[in-house]
Amino acid sequence: MHFKSLLPILAISTFSCQAIAQSQPNYHTMLPNGDAWITHADKGLSPYWMASTAQGSPIGNFPTFRCDNGDVLNIDAPCAELVNHSWIKAEFGRDYTRMKSRQIYAYGVRYHLTGDPEALALAKAGVDYLLQELRDEKNDGYITYREQGNPGLKWQQRTSQDQAYAIVGLAFYYYLTRDPAVEQALIDQQAFIFDKYRTQANDQLLWVLEDSDVDKKVQLELVAQLDQINGYLLLVMPLLPEPHQAKWREDLEWLTKQMLALYHDDDEWRFYGAIHHPAVMKEGAKHNDFGHTIKAYWMTYLTGQALGNQEWQSFAEKGIQKTLERAAFSYPKTNLKTVMSEEEYNAIPFEEIYSWKSETYNYGISAWQWAELDQALMTLAIKEGNKLDKSWTRQLFFTTTTFHQYWVDHHYGGVGMMPKSVKQFQWGNGYHQFEHALVGYISAQFWYDESATLYYALPKDSQFALQPYYFTGKEISRKITEQDLNLDKLQQVAVAFEVE
């Protein structure tokens, strides 16, 4: 068995202070509660992202590459954790728009969970920088990256995925604030993507419009469809005024329908990562992993809820169950004897350890895949409540507790591509780890029959209908706090939801 798959288990040795070893532990009462998730976001994740080195120069121009200790990458003397990955090193000179937007998202979630005004101010700084500096004023859309200060790629060579992730932070900031300028930017970008990338010939969204050295027009990619949904469509659609909401609703329905029709394998119950050649559709090929498949099922389930499509919900729930079953596995405790001290080994109070893998025969897994699998299982927990199968409750206990204890760098904060390491690069940022914390908090409050309190920043006297992220919830209280946000016309509003 690959050693990397054993690593997440090492954190189990610290569980002994939380749980008494017993033949049948009551996992139902052992899942991390809402306070544990807030602490995880505040003390575990945030130190790395609230550090001054993360904030950019000027503030809001967030760097693409930082070392595990938080230092901004020095290309002349790069840190080992980044330079040792050749595919990361190859892009050291690039500054990516999508990563700035993902960092806006991370600050937005920190504010949403804790009410920290500094996090909101950093999100706002990122929004302002993105809108002022990174929009392509001539061709529309957003530049993909800058290299030596100059925009890279012709506009037709920019991927539709990058166009989606350029606004993931704007989407979350709009969800928090209903900022009218951000609303218009979102409407404009959605129209641009669906106008330029939608193709009647393939009846889907294209990857690129013109070949580059890396990407080809012939490519038909799952994430060209999927990342529009999770990047902005699903969160923002119900918040928009008409007629824009109706337009987005129609596009979301069409895109989901086409994703299911073109990218889903009805026999194997998985999603193809791409469909332009038989080789890219095979298990083990790029994006043909449990992370992308579970994310596609999760988005389909939530879209079904948002659009009132019970057929999609039932279909996606079945797919979630099947994917979780394939991704879940366990280790006997005895497997650890050779990789830890006798003291550490004896401290483990469990005989079997439960974990996630990324593919059928690949026991290595990245943090984002782990987070997506957890989030889908948390969504099942919200749906099923006390009826959730006990084996899934046990699985969720192990995987969430392991994530809190092992994946997090408890010295500098944050979560990396690998446990505690490789935390900020051209695809690694705060997005997935903070979404994981938000979904974890909301689901935990439901699990323990507690209201979920989330913080918004809204115009005075506004009466916007609010929701707890992707989920449905009955608003049971709304309170204007005394916190000064130092943002014109916005006031902090604490809302308690009963998650449904």
| Domain residue extents for the chain | 3-499
- Residue 346 reports pLDDT greater than 90: no
- Residue 20 reports pLDDT greater than 90: no
Per residue in 399-429, is it b (16+ CB within 10 Å) or e — as a string? bbbbbbbbbbbeebbbbbbbbbbbbbbbbbb
Angstrom distance (rounded) from CA 31 to CA 8: 17
Kindly compute the dihedral angle of the four CA atoms of residues 455, 296, 94, 154, in this order, to the nearest 10 degrees.
-110
Which letter does DSSP use for residue 209 in this model?
S
Helix-strand-coil split of the chain, %, nearest 5: 50, 15, 35
Helices (H) and strands (E) in the chain, counts: 19, 12
- pLDDT tens per residue, range 170-180: 999 999 999 99
Residues counted in the chain: 500
Take residue 278 and report the two structure tokens written for it. 């038989």
Maximum pairwise Cα distance, the chain = 66
What pLDDT score does 12 carry?
44
Query: At 343, is the pLDDT very low, low, confident or very high (cuts 50, 70, 90)?
Result: confident
Q: Please name the residue that has the structure tokens 């532990």.
A: 25
As a whole number, mean pLDDT of residues 341-348 equals: 83
Q: What percent of the chain has pLDDT over 90?
A: 88
What pLDDT score does 488 carry?
83
Closest CA to 431 of 91, 62, 19: 62
Cβ(382)–Cβ(499) under 8 Å?
A: yes
Angstrom distance (rounded) from CA 363 to CA 202: 35
- Residue 5 reports pLDDT greater than 60: no
State pTM to two decimals.
0.95
- Residue 85 reports pLDDT greater than 90: yes
Angstrom distance (rounded) from CA 492 to CA 268: 48
What pLDDT score does 344 carry?
77
Cβ(8)–Cβ(355) under 8 Å?
A: yes
Which letter does DSSP use for residue 469 in this model?
T
The half-sphere exposure of 340 on its side-chain side, counting CA atoms within 13 A, is 21
Kindly compute the dihedral angle of the four CA atoms of residues 306, 311, 315, 316, in this order, to the nearest 10 degrees.
0
What's the whole-number average pLDDT of the chain? 94
Cβ(336)–Cβ(348) under 8 Å?
A: yes
Per residue in 348-368, is it b (16+ CB within 10 Å) or e — as a string? bbbeebbbbbbbeeebebbbb
- Hey, what CATH topology would domain 3-499 get? Glycosyltransferase (1.50.10)
Query: At 299, is the pLDDT very low, low, confident or very high (cuts 50, 70, 90)?
Result: very high
User: 198 — phi, psi (to 5°)?
Assistant: -75, 130
- Residue 23 reports pLDDT greater than 80: no
Take residue 42 and report the two structure tokens written for it. 């505040």
User: 497 — phi, psi (to 5°)?
Assistant: -115, 145
What pLDDT score does 347 carry?
82
- pLDDT tens per residue, range 182-214: 999 999 999 999 999 999 888 999 999 999 999
As a whole number, mean pLDDT of residues 28-56 equals: 97
Q: Where are the beta strands (DSSP E) in 39-151?
A: 94-96, 145-147, 150-151
- pLDDT tens per residue, range 236-294: 999 999 999 999 999 999 999 999 999 999 999 999 999 999 999 999 999 999 999 99
Query: What angle do the packed helices 97-114 and 168-177 form, to 10 degrees?
Result: 30
Cβ-based neighbours of 41, under 8 Å, separated by 6 or more: 109, 110, 113, 114, 434, 437, 438, 441
As a whole number, mean pLDDT of residues 309-335 equals: 96
As a whole number, mean pLDDT of residues 446-466 equals: 96
- Residue 412 reports pLDDT greater than 50: yes
Distances (CA, A) of 230 to 259, 295, 372, 383: 13, 9, 12, 20
Provide the H-helix boundaries in 178-280.
Answer: 180-196, 222-228, 234-236, 244-263
Cβ(438)–Cβ(112) under 8 Å?
A: yes
What pLDDT score does 338 carry?
84
Task: Mark residue 474 as left, alpha or beta (left: phi above 0; alpha: psi -120 to 50; beta: remaining).
Answer: beta
- pLDDT tens per residue, range 375-393: 999 999 999 998 999 999 9
As a whole number, mean pLDDT of residues 303-329 equals: 98
User: 252 — phi, psi (to 5°)?
Assistant: -65, -40
Q: Where are the beta strands (DSSP E) in 27-185?
A: 94-96, 145-147, 150-151
What pLDDT score does 399 carry?
97
As a whole number, mean pLDDT of residues 107-120 equals: 98
Count of other CB atoms within 10 angstroms of residue 103 = 27
User: 343 — phi, psi (to 5°)?
Assistant: -65, -45
Residue 475, H or E segment? strand 473-480
